[in-house]
Amino acid sequence: MKKSGSSKGTGAKAPRRRSPAQARLYRHWREFISRSERHLEEQSVAKIDAATERFRQQVITAAAQGAEASVAWLSLGLWSFDPEERLICFGRMLKCMEREEELSPSTDELGQWTFAYYNAFGRFEIARALVYGGKARDAKAYLEEALPFARKAEDMPVQGEAFEGNIEGKIAGELLLLKV
Protein backbone atom coordinates (compact mmCIF):
# COMPACT_ATOMS: atom_id res chain seq x y z
CA MET A 1 0.00 0.00 0.00
CA LYS A 2 1.18 3.49 -0.67
CA LYS A 3 2.45 5.28 2.40
CA SER A 4 1.34 8.77 3.21
CA GLY A 5 3.37 11.47 4.83
CA SER A 6 6.83 12.81 4.27
CA SER A 7 10.13 11.91 5.83
CA LYS A 8 11.50 15.46 5.42
CA GLY A 9 12.45 17.00 8.71
CA THR A 10 11.10 14.11 10.78
CA GLY A 11 14.37 12.29 11.25
CA ALA A 12 12.90 9.31 9.42
CA LYS A 13 14.94 7.37 6.94
CA ALA A 14 14.65 8.41 3.31
CA PRO A 15 12.41 6.09 1.29
CA ARG A 16 14.18 3.20 -0.38
CA ARG A 17 14.60 3.40 -4.14
CA ARG A 18 12.66 0.84 -6.12
CA SER A 19 14.57 -1.88 -7.89
CA PRO A 20 14.11 -2.16 -11.66
CA ALA A 21 11.76 -5.12 -11.09
CA GLN A 22 9.70 -3.10 -8.59
CA ALA A 23 9.55 -0.12 -10.95
CA ARG A 24 8.33 -2.45 -13.74
CA LEU A 25 5.70 -3.94 -11.44
CA TYR A 26 4.33 -0.51 -10.49
CA ARG A 27 4.30 0.53 -14.17
CA HIS A 28 2.39 -2.66 -15.06
CA TRP A 29 0.00 -2.01 -12.18
CA ARG A 30 -0.78 1.53 -13.38
CA GLU A 31 -1.29 0.22 -16.93
CA PHE A 32 -3.58 -2.54 -15.65
CA ILE A 33 -5.73 -0.06 -13.73
CA SER A 34 -5.96 2.21 -16.76
CA ARG A 35 -6.85 -0.67 -19.11
CA SER A 36 -9.40 -2.10 -16.69
CA GLU A 37 -11.20 1.23 -16.40
CA ARG A 38 -11.23 1.64 -20.18
CA HIS A 39 -12.52 -1.91 -20.74
CA LEU A 40 -15.21 -1.42 -18.09
CA GLU A 41 -16.43 1.66 -19.94
CA GLU A 42 -16.47 -0.40 -23.14
CA GLN A 43 -18.24 -3.20 -21.24
CA SER A 44 -15.80 -5.70 -22.74
CA VAL A 45 -15.55 -8.76 -20.51
CA ALA A 46 -13.14 -10.44 -22.93
CA LYS A 47 -10.76 -7.47 -22.81
CA ILE A 48 -10.98 -7.29 -19.01
CA ASP A 49 -10.19 -11.00 -18.77
CA ALA A 50 -7.24 -10.62 -21.15
CA ALA A 51 -5.88 -7.61 -19.24
CA THR A 52 -6.25 -9.48 -15.95
CA GLU A 53 -4.42 -12.53 -17.30
CA ARG A 54 -1.61 -10.37 -18.64
CA PHE A 55 -1.31 -8.58 -15.29
CA ARG A 56 -1.38 -11.92 -13.45
CA GLN A 57 1.66 -13.06 -15.43
CA GLN A 58 3.44 -9.77 -14.72
CA VAL A 59 2.75 -10.02 -10.98
CA ILE A 60 3.95 -13.63 -10.87
CA THR A 61 7.10 -12.75 -12.83
CA ALA A 62 7.83 -9.82 -10.53
CA ALA A 63 7.31 -12.01 -7.44
CA ALA A 64 9.76 -14.57 -8.85
CA GLN A 65 12.27 -11.69 -9.14
CA GLY A 66 11.66 -10.71 -5.51
CA ALA A 67 9.52 -7.67 -6.32
CA GLU A 68 6.08 -7.68 -4.76
CA ALA A 69 3.67 -4.94 -3.76
CA SER A 70 0.49 -5.19 -1.75
CA VAL A 71 -1.34 -2.95 -4.20
CA ALA A 72 -0.54 -5.31 -7.09
CA TRP A 73 -1.82 -8.38 -5.22
CA LEU A 74 -4.90 -6.43 -4.06
CA SER A 75 -5.73 -5.36 -7.63
CA LEU A 76 -5.21 -8.85 -8.98
CA GLY A 77 -7.34 -10.33 -6.19
CA LEU A 78 -10.18 -7.94 -6.91
CA TRP A 79 -10.24 -9.00 -10.57
CA SER A 80 -9.84 -12.73 -9.87
CA PHE A 81 -12.98 -14.77 -9.53
CA ASP A 82 -11.49 -18.18 -8.71
CA PRO A 83 -11.64 -18.70 -4.92
CA GLU A 84 -8.24 -20.42 -4.79
CA GLU A 85 -6.61 -17.59 -6.69
CA ARG A 86 -8.29 -15.04 -4.42
CA LEU A 87 -6.84 -16.87 -1.40
CA ILE A 88 -3.38 -16.58 -2.90
CA CYS A 89 -3.74 -12.95 -3.94
CA PHE A 90 -5.16 -11.64 -0.68
CA GLY A 91 -2.76 -13.77 1.35
CA ARG A 92 0.20 -12.33 -0.55
CA MET A 93 -1.29 -8.85 -0.18
CA LEU A 94 -1.34 -9.23 3.61
CA LYS A 95 2.26 -10.50 3.68
CA CYS A 96 3.39 -7.60 1.52
CA MET A 97 1.56 -5.12 3.73
CA GLU A 98 3.31 -6.48 6.78
CA ARG A 99 6.71 -6.17 5.07
CA GLU A 100 5.90 -2.70 3.72
CA GLU A 101 4.81 -1.52 7.17
CA GLU A 102 8.05 -2.85 8.72
CA LEU A 103 10.18 -1.06 6.11
CA SER A 104 8.24 2.20 6.14
CA PRO A 105 5.76 2.55 9.00
CA SER A 106 2.74 4.77 8.41
CA THR A 107 3.33 8.13 10.04
CA ASP A 108 0.05 9.92 9.40
CA GLU A 109 -3.61 9.14 10.01
CA LEU A 110 -4.44 8.25 6.40
CA GLY A 111 -1.53 5.80 6.22
CA GLN A 112 -2.59 4.22 9.52
CA TRP A 113 -6.20 4.00 8.34
CA THR A 114 -5.05 2.41 5.08
CA PHE A 115 -3.03 -0.23 6.94
CA ALA A 116 -5.91 -1.07 9.30
CA TYR A 117 -8.61 -1.03 6.62
CA TYR A 118 -6.77 -3.22 4.13
CA ASN A 119 -5.77 -5.67 6.84
CA ALA A 120 -9.47 -6.07 7.63
CA PHE A 121 -10.45 -6.13 3.96
CA GLY A 122 -7.85 -8.74 2.99
CA ARG A 123 -8.89 -11.07 5.80
CA PHE A 124 -12.55 -10.53 4.90
CA GLU A 125 -11.89 -11.52 1.28
CA ILE A 126 -9.88 -14.59 2.35
CA ALA A 127 -12.77 -15.63 4.59
CA ARG A 128 -15.24 -15.26 1.73
CA ALA A 129 -13.09 -17.50 -0.48
CA LEU A 130 -12.78 -20.05 2.35
CA VAL A 131 -16.56 -20.12 2.85
CA TYR A 132 -16.99 -20.78 -0.86
CA GLY A 133 -14.57 -23.69 -0.50
CA GLY A 134 -16.54 -25.15 2.40
CA LYS A 135 -14.02 -24.17 5.08
CA ALA A 136 -16.28 -22.26 7.45
CA ARG A 137 -14.09 -22.80 10.54
CA ASP A 138 -11.06 -21.34 8.80
CA ALA A 139 -13.21 -18.49 7.49
CA LYS A 140 -14.41 -17.71 11.01
CA ALA A 141 -10.82 -17.43 12.23
CA TYR A 142 -9.99 -14.92 9.49
CA LEU A 143 -13.12 -12.89 10.20
CA GLU A 144 -12.28 -12.80 13.90
CA GLU A 145 -8.74 -11.62 13.04
CA ALA A 146 -10.23 -8.94 10.78
CA LEU A 147 -12.55 -7.38 13.37
CA PRO A 148 -9.92 -5.48 15.42
CA PHE A 149 -8.45 -3.98 12.23
CA ALA A 150 -11.95 -3.04 11.04
CA ARG A 151 -12.82 -1.43 14.38
CA LYS A 152 -9.60 0.56 14.36
CA ALA A 153 -10.21 1.77 10.79
CA GLU A 154 -13.83 2.69 11.44
CA ASP A 155 -12.95 4.56 14.64
CA MET A 156 -10.35 6.74 12.94
CA PRO A 157 -11.40 10.29 12.04
CA VAL A 158 -9.51 10.15 8.72
CA GLN A 159 -10.76 7.57 6.24
CA GLY A 160 -9.74 6.85 2.69
CA GLU A 161 -12.10 7.08 -0.26
CA ALA A 162 -11.69 3.63 -1.83
CA PHE A 163 -13.71 0.77 -0.39
CA GLU A 164 -15.17 2.93 2.34
CA GLY A 165 -18.17 1.54 4.00
CA ASN A 166 -19.00 -0.41 7.05
CA ILE A 167 -16.30 -3.10 6.84
CA GLU A 168 -16.87 -3.93 10.50
CA GLY A 169 -20.57 -4.51 9.79
CA LYS A 170 -19.78 -6.66 6.77
CA ILE A 171 -17.43 -8.81 8.83
CA ALA A 172 -19.94 -9.12 11.67
CA GLY A 173 -22.66 -10.04 9.17
CA GLU A 174 -20.50 -12.79 7.67
CA LEU A 175 -19.76 -14.13 11.16
CA LEU A 176 -23.48 -14.31 11.88
CA LEU A 177 -24.11 -16.23 8.65
CA LEU A 178 -21.47 -18.86 9.38
CA LYS A 179 -22.80 -22.10 10.71
CA VAL A 180 -19.81 -23.28 12.73
In whole angstroms, how far apart are CA 65 and each of 24, 70, 84, 95? 11, 15, 23, 16
Please name each of the domains of the chain with its CATH number.
18-81 (no CATH), 106-180 (1.20.58)
Supply the pTM of this predicted model: 0.83
User: Would you say 144 and 175 are in contact if contact means Cβ atoms under 8 Å apart?
Assistant: yes
Q: What is the pLDDT along the chain (180 residues), one digit of tens a residue?
A: 544 444 444 445 555 677 888 889 999 999 999 998 998 889 989 999 999 999 999 999 999 999 999 999 999 999 999 999 999 999 999 999 999 999 999 889 989 999 999 999 999 999 999 999 999 999 999 999 999 999 999 888 877 665 566 889 999 999 999 987
Neighbours of 152 (CB within 10 A): 17
Q: What is the pLDDT of residue 19?
A: 84
